[in-house]
Structure 1
Amino acid sequence: MNYQGKTVWITGASSGIGKAFAHKLYDLGANLILSSRREEALIKVKNELGADSSRIKVLPLDLTEPETFPAKTKEALKAFGQIDVLMNNGGISQRSTVLETDMEVYRRLMEINYFGAVGLTKQVLPHMVERKSGHIIVTSSVAGKIGTRVRSGYSGSKHAVQGFFNSLRQEMYQHNVAVTLLCPGFVKTDISKNALTADGSEFGKMGDAHQKAMTAEQMVEKVMPKITARKEEIYVTGFKERLAIWVQRISPTLLNRILKNQKVT
């Protein structure tokens, strides 16, 4: 896919993976619609990107407010006349055990990570189906394949994402709309700092694995050729995560025995 003149709507664009994709896609000539809750941070990203601000639309969006999605989608379509790619990247993680976690925390994780992506996708899909062209991308996670301690809500939401978008892909073949699940492992972003704890407060620190991981920019460079080729599922991980995915396929029992002794924060 040639991104020159194409329109890409990115959620979670104010930092981390979303911001890194914004930089890369701007360099490739795309028109960008940048969304997250933090308008000031989005404006900062816009100012970082380059001189041609006519190719960038800042569109604040809260994924916990689905009632705003229809109006936000109309505004997004008005910006450049079409949406060629929707990149569902907004999300939040978790660091707390099942026994201690409030149900409201689980609901918030599902609202942002699952219902946010599903709801926005449903708004954009009719436009893509009508044009017989489009690409839906959703940032899942290795946690969408493998569950570990203190991430039950996060992993549950990402498992739900995997199931929904795998089903959606089957329905979209006939409409020439591609669906890509991006499954990163540890990436050096603020996702662990912003993760929810048992009472909904922020975890506030970066875990060892994230500290040592690839940067968001490095991850985007690795996956961009596969994104461009509209691959259906993309993994970008370290060695241990790749090994865990392989072991999961061969022997879930063995993987569980290994994981119970591993540090997960």
Structure 2
Amino acid sequence: DVLHVLFVMDPNMALPSVMVLPLLIVVAAGVYYIYNEVMQFMSKSLVRNKVVVITDAVSGVGTECAHLFHKGGARLILCGTSWDQLESLYEYLTNDADPRETFAPKLVILDFSDMDSMENVVAEVVEGYGCVDVLICNSSMKLKAQVQSVSLEMDRNIMDINYFGPSTLTKGVLPTMISRRSGHIVLVNSIQGRLAVPFRSSYAASKHAAQAFFDCLRAEVEEFGIVVSTISHTFINASDPPPYIDTSKCIYSSTVITSQLTHGVRPSVLANEIMQTVNRKKKEVVLAHPIPRVALYLRSLFPSFFFAVLAAGVKDSVLAEQMQ
């Protein structure tokens, strides 16, 4: 070891040896910082001029995605169920934006619960710029209930929003991607598309269906140069309203705000992961804490044990409700 020889030969150099570890830490931190800056710059340059469609753009995750891709110079088509919210998001993105570096987003009303409107919506999305480079399927409807209490109408509504809607929109933009032999489709799914838990039967079923559809699609369109990505995340920590909403004009229930869990995936973190997935063409991402990851392995390797744990959890929850 050269450093050891030098320090043995010259006792006066013993002091710098103490500083070797801190120096290495500082250098590593500097390299990491530079790497992040370079990757951030590349992220913006990679999406510049790309036509990016974001569904449910007015949600927390959708808004963060819109902000990132807009700053990167993408040509955005923002979809949502409320025109007022879409306009508010438009103003939020364009107020301080440099028109020489960014493009004004196009707005499209999209409601997956109204499947009869999908043909017109697909036509409007495709005609916006004549093509779609990136489709981000972000829409989702959640439900927590016992199986026997969920109506068939509710089952169908959840399947429309979480499965039939994204799959229909994807089929609509696919021909333009195939003809251009390029494109990227991102499904922002849920960990419950891979791992079903009690009281989420309809939700988990719709997410499993979406996961299977896009897994099949990935293999079918690879020959055309189209990338299909799925992001399986835990629940979204959306205790704060989207930034485009003027909270001074809204009334929020304090009980709702305080009841939000303090952990989970924050919208900004998920949006950054979506951006990195598009830039690096990742095919599958699991954005979850260690416990859900362990549960995935248990479900595959030790199913009997996994089912027993879930059943015990259901019994405990029922007992707790009865004692309240």
Q: TM-score, normalised by structure 1?
A: 0.87
What are structure 2's unaligned runs of at least 5 residues? 1-42, 240-254, 318-324
Q: Is 1:225 the equivalent of 2:251?
A: no
Higher relative contact order, chain-length normalized (CA < 8 Å, sep 6+): 1
Distance in 2 (alpha carbons) for counterparts of 1:227 and 1:31: 15
Distance in 1 (alpha carbons) for counterparts of 2:273 and 2:219: 26
Cα deviation, residue 76, structure 1: 2.0
Cα deviation, residue 205, structure 1: 5.1
The equivalent of 1:57 in structure 2 is 106
Distance in 2 (alpha carbons) for counterparts of 1:132 and 1:144: 29
Distance in 1 (alpha carbons) for counterparts of 2:310 and 2:263: 19
SS of 2:192 mapped into structure 1 = helix
Distance in 2 (alpha carbons) for counterparts of 1:31 and 1:210: 35
Distance in 2 (alpha carbons) for counterparts of 1:121 and 1:223: 17
Counterpart selection for 1:76 from 118, 122, 125: 125
Percent identity between the aligned chains? 29
SS of 2:163 mapped into structure 1 = helix
Name the aligned partner's letter for residue 166 of structure 1: D
The equivalent of 2:168 in structure 1 is 119
The equivalent of 1:249 in structure 2 is 300
Q: Deviations 1:167-225 (Å, cap 9, x if unpaired)?
A: 111110111111111111122127xxxxxxxxxxxxx9579684422310022224432
Cα deviation, residue 260, structure 1: 3.3
Q: Specify the structure having the higher radius of gyration (Cα).
A: 2
Please tell me whether the aligned partners of residues 52 and 136 of structure 2 are also in contact (alpha carbons under 8 angstroms). yes
The equivalent of 2:48 in structure 1 is 4
Please tell me whether the aligned partners of residues 223 and 236 of structure 1 are also in contact (alpha carbons under 8 angstroms). no
Q: Deviations 1:125-151 (Å, cap 9, x if unpaired)?
A: 011101111111112111011111111
The equivalent of 1:214 in structure 2 is 265
Q: Is 1:171 the equivalent of 2:215?
A: no
Mark the CA change 1:261 to 1:220 in structure 2 (over 3 Å): closer, same or farther: farther
Question: Which stretch of structure 1 is more off in the superposition, 12-21 or 89-98?
Answer: 12-21
The equivalent of 1:44 in structure 2 is 88
Name the aligned partner's letter for residue 15 of structure 1: S
Please tell me whether the aligned partners of residues 185 and 237 of structure 1 are also in contact (alpha carbons under 8 angstroms). yes
Structure in which a larger fraction of residues adopt helix? 2
Please tell me whether the aligned partners of residues 126 and 173 of structure 2 are also in contact (alpha carbons under 8 angstroms). no
Question: Which stretch of structure 1 is more off in the superposition, 218-227 or 25-34?
Answer: 218-227
Distance in 1 (alpha carbons) for counterparts of 2:174 and 2:257: 36
Cα deviation, residue 67, structure 1: 2.9
Distance in 1 (alpha carbons) for counterparts of 2:191 and 2:258: 16
Q: How many residues align?
A: 251
Name the aligned partner's letter for residue 227 of structure 1: V
Distance in 2 (alpha carbons) for counterparts of 1:223 and 1:72: 24
Name the aligned partner's letter for residue 3 of structure 1: V
Name the aligned partner's letter for residue 48 of structure 1: Y
Please tell me whether the aligned partners of residues 94 and 154 of structure 1 are also in contact (alpha carbons under 8 angstroms). yes
Please tell me whether the aligned partners of residues 112 and 165 of structure 2 are also in contact (alpha carbons under 8 angstroms). yes
The equivalent of 1:131 in structure 2 is 180
Q: TM-score, normalised by structure 2?
A: 0.72
Counterpart selection for 2:230 from 162, 181, 193: 181
Please tell me whether the aligned partners of residues 186 and 209 of structure 1 are also in contact (alpha carbons under 8 angstroms). no
SS of 1:35 mapped into structure 2 = strand
What are structure 1's unaligned runs of at least 5 residues? 191-203
Distance in 2 (alpha carbons) for counterparts of 1:219 and 1:37: 21
The equivalent of 1:99 in structure 2 is 148
Please tell me whether the aligned partners of residues 96 and 151 of structure 1 are also in contact (alpha carbons under 8 angstroms). yes
Name the aligned partner's letter for residue 239 of structure 1: P
Distance in 2 (alpha carbons) for counterparts of 1:33 and 1:220: 16
